[in-house]
């Protein structure tokens, strides 16, 4: 386990532009303050000793819309302009396990992400991208196993060894029942499927993170910072327990657990939030599961808060995003997405997406914050704020534990009610003017801001359906039937609690040209569906 953790901490030898002296010629130490230092348990000050002195956070802008071809063009555009990691959004039919030609997909194809129905779609999405040189994040949950297998199948088709692939599949199904809603199967089966992805990833794509345990959507649904930490970490412990019950050993998956947090407006609370999350996670993993201390350094991706963006005076959103990005960097994020100023109105244009990326680059290259590991440690205010936040977080986690864990807390509706209550209180403060939102309830203006907004290509749906029809017409039916039958057998095993290889059967199926919808239908028929 320690060997893998050490491999992840290898220093990137690229030359970083951040100065090691100030403009006045004052030499800066690598780190200030006393032990525990960054990289030391419980990792409050960061998961790595050097933090950004040796390597900046990964600049991973979230992209995905319309067709695979359009999204691929956006990927190349952002990489050309300095993005250092890929991040893909998928449309609702893809998230819910429907092919683009399904009646449930009507009106949603390519709308909030890219449409992926089969291996040829994935080949287009990843065309000419250096999959063996760059990491890719895919925001997908119920159909995470299928998308991961499609990614691997494309790599294999290009003669790239899957063991060299780096990236993250979100695969965090519990928060879907809490906050986001793109679930398919009953929660208990979904947890087993998550564990199967852990098992499969450990052998087939060992450099891949098989889950990104997400507080982002919990916060977007209206939670407080304390609730975001508490529910996210409680979800994490549920996944660990499920994986252990399935027969996996800690060293098979714990070093590859990753997290995804929101960066909201309250600057210092957000910085404290990240520090508290690392501390509680490390301490609880050791206490609950006896995990080795070197394996429990929480690593996370952050995204600026979409819920704070306003349709009024949208250019102001660039300022909000910049401060949120600064909080993420000071909080020690490993990768970051910065929202575009026009996202309260439409999908980002190339211009707004580029400004969002430049926001990160200016932060990294011009401000000097990367010159010192954990530069704000020792702030009395921050330390006291963190202690208070930790107390609130642990109180919520204790309540969840008393209820029997997150699965029970979700099934009784406790988690959902707590988030809804927090969201209601927050909105009341905005409506009353107690919580100021510039351009909305204060400093508002009647002036109209004219922006060039992203427009969906009207040909996207027609072209997607045409390609899908041709794809389905040019297949060998026996190979399709055999592949789906194999998945059916493995899903039955998994559902019953027996040893199963669901992911292997899915990989074979997508290579034999089964579609995402066909695979999902087989799984729906066996596992059932979840209804509120």
Confidence of residue 7 (pLDDT cuts 50, 70, 90): very low
Record the tokens describing residue 482, joined without a space: 């055999």
Over residues 336-340, mean pLDDT: 98
pLDDT in tens, 367-393: 999 999 999 999 999 999 999 999 999
What is the pLDDT at residue 329? Answer: 98
DSSP tag of 56: P
For 59-78, how does the pLDDT look when each residue is reduced to its tens digit (9 = 90+)?
Answer: 999 999 999 999 999 999 99
Cα 487 from Cα 97, distance rounded (Å): 15
Give the pLDDT confidence score for residue 305 in this predicted structure.
98
Q: pLDDT value at position 371?
A: 94
pLDDT the model gives residue 9: 42
According to the model, what pLDDT value does residue 448 have?
A: 76
pLDDT at 445: 87
Q: What is the pLDDT at residue 450?
A: 79
- pLDDT at residue 5, rounded to an integer: 40
- Contact (CB, 8 A) for 344 and 352: no
Pick the closest to residue 169 from 199, 130, 139, 149 (CA basis): 139
- Looking at the chain, the whole-number percentage of residues with pLDDT higher than 90 is 92
Whether residue 42 is preceded by a cis peptide bond, meaning omega within 30 degrees of 0, is: yes
Contacts 24+ apart (CB under 8 A), 426-431: 426/222, 427/222
pLDDT tens sequence across 439-496 = 999 999 887 777 888 888 889 999 999 999 999 999 999 999 999 999 999 999 999 9
Res 207: pLDDT: 97
- Residue 420 predicted with pLDDT over 80: yes
Q: What 3-state DSSP class applies to 86?
A: strand
Is 236 within 8 Å of 402 (Cβ atoms)?
no
184-198: average pLDDT: 97
CB of 68 closer than 8 Å to CB of 124 = yes
As a whole-number percent, the residues of the chain with pLDDT over 70 amount to: 96
Mean pLDDT of 17-40: 87
State the pLDDT at residue 458: 82
Residues 6+ positions from 425 with CB-CB distance below 8 Å = none
368 φ/ψ sector (left φ>0, alpha ψ -120 to 50, else beta): left
Stretch 267-292: mean pLDDT, rounded?
98
Strand intervals (E) in 93-172: 135-139, 166-169
pLDDT the model gives residue 107? 94
Q: Quick one: pLDDT at residue 504?
A: 98
pLDDT at 446: 81
What tokens were used for 395?
A: 């109180």
Average pLDDT, the chain: 94
Give long-range contacts, CB 8 A cutoff, 24+ apart: 494-499: 494/189, 494/192, 494/193, 494/196, 495/189, 495/192, 495/526, 495/527, 497/192, 499/247
Tell me the C-alpha to C-alpha distance, in Å, between residue 150 and each of 344, 390, 500, 513, 522. Answer: 31, 40, 19, 10, 17
- How many CB atoms neighbour CB 163 within 10 A? 13
Q: Which of 354, 360, 363, 335 is nearest to 77 (CA)?
A: 354
pLDDT value, residue 13: 34
pLDDT of residue 20: 85
pLDDT digits (tens, 9 = 90+) for 79-136: 999 999 999 999 999 999 999 999 999 999 999 999 999 999 999 999 999 999 999 9
Q: In whole angstroms, what is the distance from residue 235 CA to residue 259 CA?
A: 11
**Residue in this structure with the two tokens 């901490």, named with its chain if needed:** 9
Highest CATH level, class, for 2-31+42-432: alpha beta
What pLDDT score does 457 carry? 84
Q: What span, in angstroms and rounded, lies between the C-alpha atoms of 318 and 167? A: 28
Beta-carbon neighbour count of residue 322 at 10 Å?
A: 16
Q: Could you write out the three-class secondary structure of 327-394?
A: HHHHCCCCEEECCCCCCCCCCCCHHHHHHHHHHHHHHHHHCCHHHCECCCCCCHHHHHHHHHHHHHHH
Say how far apart CA 514 and CA 507 lie, in whole Å.
10
Neighbour count for residue 297 (Cβ, 10 Å): 23
| pLDDT at position 422 over 80 | yes
- Binned at pLDDT 50, 70 and 90, residue 8 comes out as very low
């Amino acid at each position: 386990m320690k060997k893998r953790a050490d491999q992840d901490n290898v220093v990137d030898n690229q030359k970083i532009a951040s100065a090691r002296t100030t403009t006045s010629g004052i030499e800066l130490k690598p780190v200030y303050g006393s032990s525990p230092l960054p990289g030391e348990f419980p990792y409050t000050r960061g998961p790595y000793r050097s933090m950004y002195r040796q390597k900046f956070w990964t600049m991973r802008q979230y992209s995905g819309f319309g067709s695979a071809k359009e999204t691929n063009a956006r990927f190349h555009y952002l990489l050309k302009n300095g993005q250092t990691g890929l991040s893909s959004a998928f449309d609702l039919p893809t998230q819910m396990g429907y092919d683009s030609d399904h009646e449930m997909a009507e009106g949603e194809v390519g709308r909030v992400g890219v449409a992926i129905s089969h291996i040829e779609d994935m080949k287009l999405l990843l065309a000419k991208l250096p999959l063996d040189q760059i990491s890719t994040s895919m925001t997908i949950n119920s159909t995470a196993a299928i998308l991961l297998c499609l990614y691997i199948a494309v790599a294999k088709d290009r003669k790239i060894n899957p063991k060299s692939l780096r990236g993250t599949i979100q695969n965090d199904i519990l928060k879907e029942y809490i906050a986001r809603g793109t679930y398919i199967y009953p929660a208990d089966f979904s947890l087993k499927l998550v564990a199967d992805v852990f098992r499969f990833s450990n052998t087939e794509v060992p450099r891949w993170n098989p889950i990104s345990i997400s507080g982002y959507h919990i916060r977007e649904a209206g939670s407080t910072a304390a609730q975001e930490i508490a529910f996210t970490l409680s979800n994490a412990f549920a996944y660990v327990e499920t994986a252990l019950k399935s027969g996996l050993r800690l060293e098979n998956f714990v070093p590859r657990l990753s997290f995804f947090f929101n960066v909201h407006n309250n600057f210092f609370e957000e910085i404290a939030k990240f520090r508290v999350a690392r501390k509680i996670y490390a301490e609880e993993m050791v206490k609950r599961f006896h995990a080795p201390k070197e394996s429990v350094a929480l690593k996370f991706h952050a995204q600026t808060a979409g819920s704070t963006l306003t349709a009024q005076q949208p250019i102001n959103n660039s300022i909000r995003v910049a401060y949120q990005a600064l909080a993420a960097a000071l909080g020690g994020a490993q990768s970051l997405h910065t929202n575009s100023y026009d996202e309260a109105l439409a999908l980002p244009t190339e211009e707004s997406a580029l400004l969002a990326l430049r926001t990160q680059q200016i932060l990294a290259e011009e401000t000097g914050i990367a010159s010192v590991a954990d530069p704000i440690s020792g702030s009395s205010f921050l330390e006291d704020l963190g202690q208070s936040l930790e107390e609130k977080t642990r109180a919520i986690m204790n309540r969840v534990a008393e209820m029997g864990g997150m699965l029970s807390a979700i099934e009784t509706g406790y988690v959902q009610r707590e988030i809804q209550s927090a969201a209601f209180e927050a909105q009341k403060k905005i409506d009353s003017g107690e919580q100021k939102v510039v351009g909305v309830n204060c400093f508002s203006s009647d002036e109209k801001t004219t922006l060039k907004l992203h427009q969906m290509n009207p040909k996207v749906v027609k072209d997607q359906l045409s390609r899908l029809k041709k794809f389905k017409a040019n297949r060998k039916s026996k190979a399709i039937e055999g592949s789906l039958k194999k998945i059916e057998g493995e899903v039955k095993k998994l559902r019953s609690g027996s040893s199963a290889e669901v992911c292997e059967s899915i990989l074979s199926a997508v290579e034999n040209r089964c579609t995402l919808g066909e695979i999902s239908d087989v799984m729906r028929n066996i596992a059932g569906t979840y209804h509120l």
